[in-house]
Structure 1
């Protein structure tokens, strides 16, 4: 039986082509007409790590702002915040500092404090936890997307951190006293 090609490309081949095109775009970058330098000043991995650390720092700020507005949540948030600080440290490029992983949340006044990247912390504790879960979910999704362009070891680290973020979403949105 003779082989006949499909009339349209498969979803897998389209995704592979898109990933290849994105990789080529990342590797070539924009130039001003001059030949590209063989060694970029900052490697792709370092740029990705620095961006991941900045994202973790913003999430740490969100945890701190939430704890400041809702001091009763501090004990619940402390282990999750510590994990985010550890992620920032693990993602830091060699020789770079991480964003205050040991800093502890300050005492709260009860007023809505500004939270990085998400507006003010909601006044109700349940809404504040939901907003924090949304920030964790968004960052987890971003890190999952970043896997496609990350070098091997960094991709594995990003996958682990994204998975941990997904667990944080569950912990932030579940009732700690409920039984399954």
Structure 2
């Protein structure tokens, strides 16, 4: 018959494993607590750096969208017949600027003079929307999660606007 229960060899193996685990755990906990005491300032510095980076990303994204809004305003002023089709998209871009961060008055960027006809101006707006979507998508790589979700949403909206503007350009009279 075979013996059941604990053998001397099994007891020594279990005791050795427990002792080795205690030694390894004891060594690791001293290093971690010493690292935590010294890294409080480093953690604060890292948090400040992250906040500064996020603010910088927001400012850049807001600037890109503000330039796009300036283009919308320019096209509507140059071609009043396009105002009905562009107003909802322009209002959405204005809402994106507000969502991207606090700021006072929207500082408009100089836009190139309108060349050609209204359809060409709307096609240029579609291209500007595509560039805006690409810029916001590129910024996703460096953005923290909350800002990344916002940038993804704004980039998706810009892509949809580009499609709508392309279709509007086909319908716009020269």
Contact 2:61/2:100 (8 A) holds in 1: yes
Measured in 1, the distance between the counterparts of 2:95 and 2:146 equals 17
Which residue, out of 68, 71, 96, partners 1:87?
Answer: 96
Structure 1's consecutive aligned runs of 4 or more residues displaced over 3 angstroms after TM superposition are: 39-42, 115-118, 175-178
State the partner residue of 2:113.
Answer: 120
Structure 2, unaligned stretches of length 5 or more?
A: 1-43
Instruction: Tell me the residue number matched to 1:166.
Output: 159
For structure 1, list consecutive stretches of 5 or more residues without a partner in the other structure: 1-36, 101-114
Q: Which residue of 2 aligns with 1:44?
A: 53
Report Cα offsets for 1:31-67 as digits up to 9, x if no partner: xxxxxx9344961111111111111111111000000
**Residues 89 and 98 in structure 1, CA contact (< 8 A), matched pair in contact too:** no
User: Offset at 1:177?
Assistant: 8.9
2:90 aligned with 1:97, yes or no?
no
Match of 2:16 in 1: none
Higher helix share: 2
Question: Aligned runs of 1:137-148 on 2, under 5 Å?
Answer: 137-148=130-141
Q: Is the 8 A contact 2:119 2:169 kept in 1?
A: no
Q: Distance in 2 between matches of 1:58 and 1:43?
A: 23
**Bigger CA radius of gyration:** 2
Alignment coverage as a number of residue pairs:
126
What TM-score, normalized by structure 2, do the two folds share? 0.65
